[in-house]
Amino acid sequence: MMKTRKLIASLMLGTICATPVLAQDNMDKLSNMQRTDATFTNIDQEGERAESLKAILEHINVPDGFEVSLYAVVPDARSMAVAPQGTVTFVGTRKDKVWSVVDRDRDRVADEVFDFAPSITFDVPNGPCFSPDGFLYIAERNRVLTFPAAEFFFEGPDPAVGVVVPKGELIPAEEESFNHTARVCRIGPDGKLYVSLGQPHNVQPKDKVEMYDKTGIGGIIRMNTDGTGREVYTRGIRNSVGHDFNPANGDLWFTDNQVDGMGDDIPPGELNRQTEAGQHFGFPWTNGRVEIPDYKNVPRPEGVSFTEPQVEMQAHAADLGMRFYEGSSFPEKYQGGIFSAQHGSWNRTTPIGARVMFTALDEEGNAAGTEVFADGWLNEETGEYRGRPMDIAFLKDGSMLVSDDFAGAIWRIAYNPAPASE
């Protein structure tokens, strides 16, 4: 507690690591506790847009006893981070906004949605995550920021901010791309910050393999929360946009997206389990158990065995955000299992995905079966999307939030069984 208080104090005094001058940004002002002229962008939670989103609800299928509702209108809603005390949910985007979603009266419908820290010029701030002691981290395309006590200062345009990884140092600047640069982050059971680094190609050129392996591109890196001690934790993945730690044993689980252009039904999507640092999951030599033609004649890393996926999902369904269920309001079969979002295919002859999956675990912590939990965002008759689930989060009451960057919404799924008849 004392350490946390000292760190907050140092941040508030602007004594954290300095950042270079950034074009059209207010980082220098904020680090010195100066005000800016930034103003909020507020998103209307009523009116025609909200009503059109509510019309989608009749198409969403959930198991018996569950109900789905519109939680918030949130443009481009991507990865979510629920604040430790539940005051606000921070929502990243692939554009330049991070949204604050506020349910003040706790009726499980958002009252307000407005941009967080509008004085900062964000660059693909897809990945927000919280530390247990209330620090908000935001993983951008090529920077990582931290905001102390964000849950309590989100209503001001100029919150205190620190730089964990300066701009241009998360990946080499020449590797910046819009493709596969939606980062996600988590604080692990070891207290370190884990950040995914998707590689920006369909299959990376052979002359980049060594550099990518060294920097962690096509992997997951971890570091101390002040940015020191960086190391590559996970290797051999293509583009993971969802990871979480099993609270029962600390194992890291993550989704991975597969190579395009090999056909409708291969390679499979992946849900992976990592039990120790440094494990390699096959890419670019394999996706799942499927060999990638581009690397068929390229020697594999010497002395390295590839870890196979725990679950192979349907090809090209675009498995993204995932979260372990730690609540108690859902039926027992779901407790301790994994909920994951399938964004939906973009280059498949017959579209699939746009749904929420559930994966149960056995007593050894391995996957014990995967099933569809919620679907209907894809109109299977026309092949058109009503919405595209991206991430999973949970409120303090155990209900589920599902972000949707296509519809521009956050959906809430709660268990509310009908009373037993007498």
- Contact assessment for residue 245 and residue 191, using Cβ atoms and an 8 Å cutoff: no
Q: What is the pLDDT of residue 341?
A: 98
| Amino acid identity for residue 80 in this structure | M
Residues in the chain: 422
**Whether the Cβ atoms of residue 105 and residue 405 lie closer than 8 Å to each other:** no
Kind of pairing between the strands at 127-130 and 80-82 = unpaired
Residues 303-347 pLDDT 10s = 999 999 999 999 999 999 999 999 999 999 999 999 999 999 998
* Rg of the chain over all Cα atoms, to the nearest angstrom: 21
For residue 164, what are its two tokens?
């964990």
Domain boundaries, given as residue ranges, for the chain: 59-77+316-422
| pLDDT given for residue 199 in this prediction | 96
Alpha helix (H) ranges present in 168-246?
209-215
Separate counts of helices (H) and strands (E) for the chain: 5, 28
Q: For position 402, what pLDDT does the model report?
A: 99
Contact 112, 104 (CB under 8 A): yes
- Give the sheet arrangement for strand 231-234, strand by strand: 185-187, 193-197, 219-223, 231-234
* Maximum alpha-carbon separation in the chain: 70
Say how far apart CA 8 and CA 238 lie, in whole Å: 36
Q: In this structure, are residues 188 and 194 in contact, taking their beta carbons and an 8 Å threshold?
A: yes
Q: How far apart are the first and last CA of the chain?
A: 52
Extract the tokens encoding 422.
């007498």
Pairing of strands 389-394, 193-197: unpaired
3-state secondary structure of 271: strand
pLDDT, tens digit, for every residue of 291-303?
A: 999 999 999 999 9
Match 């620190």 to its residue by tokens.
Answer: 162
Tokens matching residue 190: 């070891």
pLDDT score, position 105: 92
At 33 the pLDDT is 55
Sheet holding 80-82, edge to edge: 80-82, 88-91, 99-102, 112-115
**How much is the pTM?**
0.92
H-helix or E-strand spanning residue 153? helix 150-153
Q: Over the stretch 354-366, which tens digit does the pLDDT of each residue have? A: 999 999 999 999 9
Give the pLDDT score at 32: 58
Q: Are 273 and 366 in contact (CB under 8 A)?
A: yes
Q: What is the helix, strand, coil percentage profile of the chain, to 5?
A: 10, 30, 55
Which residues in the chain show pLDDT less than 50?
A: 1-24, 422
